[in-house]
Amino acid sequence: MESALLRTGFRRAMVACQNPAKRRVARQPRRFFATPVEPQGEASELQSAPDAVYASNGGRAAKSRARAERVNKDRAVSDHDQTFQAAPQIRFTSDGEQFSSSRPSAELIENDTASRRGRGGYGGGPPGRGGAASYGRGPPNQEDDPSRNILRHIRIVPASPSYFTATPRYTDDLLALSALLRKHQLLPLLPPGEAPRVAWKTIDQYKTELAEPIRSKSYNTLLQLLKRLNYIHPSLIPDEVTESLEKYKRDVQPHLNVPNPIIVNQYGVAKAVGRRKSSSAQVYLVEGTGECLINGKSLTEYFGRLHDRESAIWALKATQRLDKYNVWALAAGGGTTGQAESITLGVARALLAHEPDLKPALRRAGCVTRDPKRVERKKPGKLKARKMPAWVKR
């Protein structure tokens, strides 16, 4: 009884004196170790023993042992007086004949690169399965490669500071325009309303170009910066601002389109085209006695309504030129109202070719500008564009 108590107490005292990390390893049976195991009292012979005992099964103890060995290896590099070194790593094969006497069950590798490659690594399996042809030959030594050592300590930095935002390209454009405005905000500006007319890209065009979900509010912020930069005096505007503004302009600037002038030919005839709704009319105006033919018919024969007759020759009536010009028109498309008002615009344009000084009077009469209004389409659930059906209580 006393001997049993003494043995138990002596064993507890020995365990209490050991390191807790090593205590778990020491309590494991030797057959579970995947690295060379020697008695604890013979630590000095661990370095010089040529024959190592390897087991075919690994476990949690093997991972703890490998971790401890890597720590010991790092300490050995910094301390040259230390005599212990970590055991080399072991990789197990997946071959069915790995337990045969003619083939080893494990092999030593020089680094952990091949252990992460799996079957496609160096020497990871038998020939024909992606492994090396001969066992015992590990991957080429890559510790001396300077490029790999550099890649371990560098981090890939995105080219754009807005890479991690939802709209990186839009954010880059906004930051670039803001930086330009801060840089050139002291340059003289043009008076309000005298900036060059520019047709900027629409939000749909900008979203298609960037392939990003841009909101209307965000795009309006961008347009405000563009308009502010466009107010810089043309004689002092920097080249970088001009290049930045060109990026956001439309390919075709409608403000730069100059209409072809209407001229009077050698026969004294001025030809003009007028449009209204879906109607169009070609008008030929020549000095005469006040005759008017529309599609080969007189004005009273072609238009039955009095309002349409007055609308067709309203430009001549407003300038008191009814008895001084002859009108010959070809109208097509739409109804009588559209054709009559299209003839009005054509007559006004042809009259300006004969007498350009009449433009203020024709503008006051409303004959110069093309009317863009069209018939509003019918909506589902309504009788017409906006007319609702009669409400019925039951």
Please state, in angstroms and rounded to a whole number, the distance separating the CA atoms of residues 323 and 329: 17
Q: pLDDT tens across 141-194, in order?
A: 555 667 667 767 777 778 888 888 989 999 999 999 999 999 999 999 999 989
Residues 17 and 72 in one domain: yes
Q: pLDDT tens across 31-77, in order?
A: 444 444 444 444 444 444 334 334 444 456 666 777 777 766 666 55
Residue 245 within a domain: yes
Q: Is the pTM of this model over 0.85?
A: no
Q: Is 154 helix (H, G, I), strand (E, B) or coil?
A: coil
Residues 194 and 275 in one domain: no
Residue 124 within a domain: no
Residues 246 and 277 in one domain: no
Residues 274 and 220 in one domain: no
Q: How many CB atoms lie within 10 A of CB 362?
A: 21
Q: Residue 190 sits in which domain range?
A: 168-253
Residue that terminates a domain, selected from 34, 53, 78: 78
Tokens of 275: 């449009």
Residues 241 and 282 in one domain: no
Q: Give me the half-sphere count of Cα atoms (radius 13 Å) on the Cβ side of residue 118.
A: 1
Per the CB < 8 A criterion, the answer to whether 357 and 367 are in contact is no
Residues 276 and 249 in one domain: no
Radius of gyration of the chain (CA): 47
Q: pLDDT tens across 279-319, in order?
A: 999 999 999 999 999 999 999 999 999 999 999 999 999 99
Residue 149 within a domain: no
Q: pLDDT tens across 245-288, in order?
A: 999 999 888 888 888 899 999 999 999 999 999 999 999 999 99
Residues 235 and 274 in one domain: no
- Indicate the residue type of 117: R
Tell me the percentage of the chain whose pLDDT exceeds 70.
66
pLDDT of residue 124: 44
Residue 155 within a domain: no
Residue 120 within a domain: no
Q: Give me the half-sphere count of Cα atoms (radius 13 Å) on the Cβ side of residue 84.
A: 14
Residues 291 and 348 in one domain: yes
- Give the H/E segment covering residue 350: helix 336-354
Residue 349 within a domain: yes
From the list 361, 356, 180, 347, the residue with the least C-alpha distance to 276 is 347
Residue 292 within a domain: yes
Residues 286 and 349 in one domain: yes
Per the CB < 8 A criterion, the answer to whether 292 and 326 are in contact is yes
Q: Where are the beta strands (DSSP E) in the chain?
A: 90-92, 106-108, 269-276, 279-287, 292-294, 297-298, 325-332
Residues 244 and 192 in one domain: yes
Residue 127 within a domain: no
| Domains held by the chain: number | 3
Q: Looking at residue 338, which CATH number applies to its domain?
A: 3.30.230.10
∠ Cα 173 175 178 (to 5°): 110
Residue that terminates a domain, selected from 47, 78, 109: 78
From the list 88, 121, 120, the residue with the least C-alpha distance to 107 is 88
